[in-house]
Amino acid sequence: MSTFPGHLDVKAIRADFPALARIVRNGNPLVYLDSGATSQKPVQVLDAERSFYELHNSAAHRGTHLLGEEATDVYEGARAKVAAFIGADVGEVVFTKNATEAINLVAYAMSNATVTAGSERFRILPGDEILITEMEHHANLVPWQQLCERIGVTSDGRLDLDHLDSMITGRTKLVALTHQSNVTGTIPPVTEIARAAHEKGALVLADAAQSVPHQPVDVAALGVDFLAFSGHKMLGPYGIGVLFGRADLLEAMPPFLTGGSMIEVVRMEGSTFLPPPQRFEPGVPAVAEAAGLAAAVDYLSGLGMSNVAAHEESLTAHALDVLREINGVRILGPDTTKDRGGAVAFDVEGVHPHDVGQVLDELGVAVRTGHHCAWPLHRALGVQASTRATFYVYNTHAEVDALADGIRYAQRFFGARQ
């Protein structure tokens, strides 16, 4: 079995990520299998942020001086790159702090539309429904919770869509669902669900925090109205995320946060607001972070998102194979790579996930343990918590093998069934 599966030059990629060269606990090399929480950052992203601060640092959309112009160009250039990356128009990309804020932006705009005149499309009235799924990350669950009906999950961790037609009703305002589960890796049929929702007049928001970093995503092909993701999970910096919104919807949507840089005219009697995307970006924007995100988009585009997806599919297939061979390990979610991304959560019989994680950490293998901000999904799958490995462009088959060896070691250490 080759250490570097064929689709990407992983050896060259790894050289771009200084953190991957670290020796961690007990003299072990770092095996980083937690990119689902946050990815490592290549030097190209670090350089882009540093160069912005060194040369162009200034408030975008404010100064009339040269540096102000340059900062605006960097910021708007990043927006154009992100738009092209997901097949959107440039005015449809709103920068936010992260995916969580992007989703809250829509939820709060809907709640604001309820109390302001002129935004009928977004107004929530008694009896209206927001439909979410049991598979959601808390970021796409808690904001909608007050008004939701839930789509359940099958025992193999896929969405239970048998009664989709009756779940989406004439009162459903919005269907909010994940485009790739951060626990089971499941990729639901978003296009099909969007079609069903639109037939009933409902809007669709996809949480793409785990899909945009890992597979080609085209918002038009998906047919969604809103799509949210974070920069830090796709090789980019913290503090910047994206809300894609269909142009006509953003145009009709009231603001979420208000203040400077998003207003048209301010009088003591009241204010009017700029068109999107500026309407949704109050305050001095995160330009260095946008520069870093643009560099991350360049990096991923250079690799080719189809190659990224193929590489991760190869790692996931290998992980499913090796985990399946370990007695006492139950994979949560689909156990083939069909409609499935590279988040592999599992339960080790007789060993608490935190203990699994701690033993793996002693061996240099970094995974996530707990409920991964998806408590209802864990309940549906019959566990309180799990251990999760997530893969990215820099991971190798040998690292998947290190995970399997570590799990066996943990089983021996805790005297669990093997």
Angle at 234 between CA 229 and CA 236, to 5 degrees: 100
Q: Which of residues 252-281 bind ligand PLP (CB under 6 A)?
A: none
Q: Please, which residue, 102 or 363, has the CB nearer to ligand PLP?
A: 102
Check binding of 386 to ligand PLP (CB under 6 A).
no
Q: How far is the CB of 105 from ligand PLP (least distance, A)?
A: 12
Q: Does 207 bind ligand PLP (CB under 6 A)?
A: yes
Task: Pick the binder of ligand PLP from 94, 206, 209, 331 (CB under 6 A).
Answer: 209
Point out which span in 45-53, 95-103, 112-120, 377-385 binds ligand PLP (CB under 6 A).
95-103
Q: Does 133 bind ligand PLP (CB under 6 A)?
A: no
Rounded to a whole number of angstroms, the distance between the first and last alpha carbons of the chain is 24
State the CB neighbour count (10 A cutoff) for residue 330: 17
Which helix (H) or strand (E) element contains residue 227?
Answer: strand 226-230
Task: Choose one: 134-142, 148-156, 362-370, 393-401; the region binding ligand PLP (CB under 6 A).
Answer: 134-142
DSSP tag of 29:
B
Choose which of 99, 331, 348, 360 interacts with ligand PLP (CB under 6 A).
99
For the bound state, the minimum distance from the C-beta of residue 139 to ligand PLP, rounded and expressed in Å, comes to 4
Given 99, 300, 373, 393, which residue is catalytic? 373
Residue 74: which H helix or E strand, with range?
Answer: helix 66-85
Q: Applying CB under 6 A, which of residues 39, 40, 104, 182 lies at the interface with ligand PLP?
A: 182
Active site includes 148? no
**Interface pick for ligand PLP out of 58, 104, 172, 178 (rule CB under 6 A):** 178
Reference 242, options 232, 227, 222; nearest CA is 227
Size of the site for ligand PLP (CB under 6 A): 14
For residue 39, state whether it binds ligand PLP (rule: CB under 6 A).
Answer: no
**Out of 40, 100, 184, 387, which residue is the one contacting ligand PLP (CB under 6 A)?**
100
Tell me whether residue 143 or residue 276 sits nearer to ligand PLP (CB atom): 143
DSSP H helical segments within 116-204, as ranges?
A: 164-167, 190-199
Place of tokens 């993701």: 229
Q: Shortest CA distance to 391 belongs to which of 4, 10, 35?
A: 35
Count helices and strands in the chain by DSSP H and E runs: 13, 15
Contact pick of 56, 61, 137, 340 for ligand PLP (by CB under 6 A): 137
- CA separation for the pair 367, 379 (Å, rounded): 21
Residues 280 and 256 sit within 8 Å (Cβ to Cβ): yes
**Position among 58, 104, 186, 210 found at the interface with ligand PLP (CB under 6 A):** 210
Could you give the angle at which helices 397-413 and 353-362 cross, rounded to 10 degrees?
Answer: 120
Dihedral, CA of residue 64, residue 67, residue 72 and residue 73, to nearest 10: 120
8 A C-beta contact, residue 319 and residue 1: no
Q: Peptide bond before 277: cis, by omega within 30 degrees of 0?
A: yes
- 98 belongs to the binding site for ligand PLP (CB under 6 A): yes
Q: Which stretch binds ligand PLP (CB under 6 A): 66-74, 94-102, 316-324, 385-393?
A: 94-102
Q: List residues near ligand PLP by CB under 6 A.
A: 37, 98-100, 137, 139-140, 178, 182, 207, 209-210, 230, 373
Catalytic annotation, residues: 373
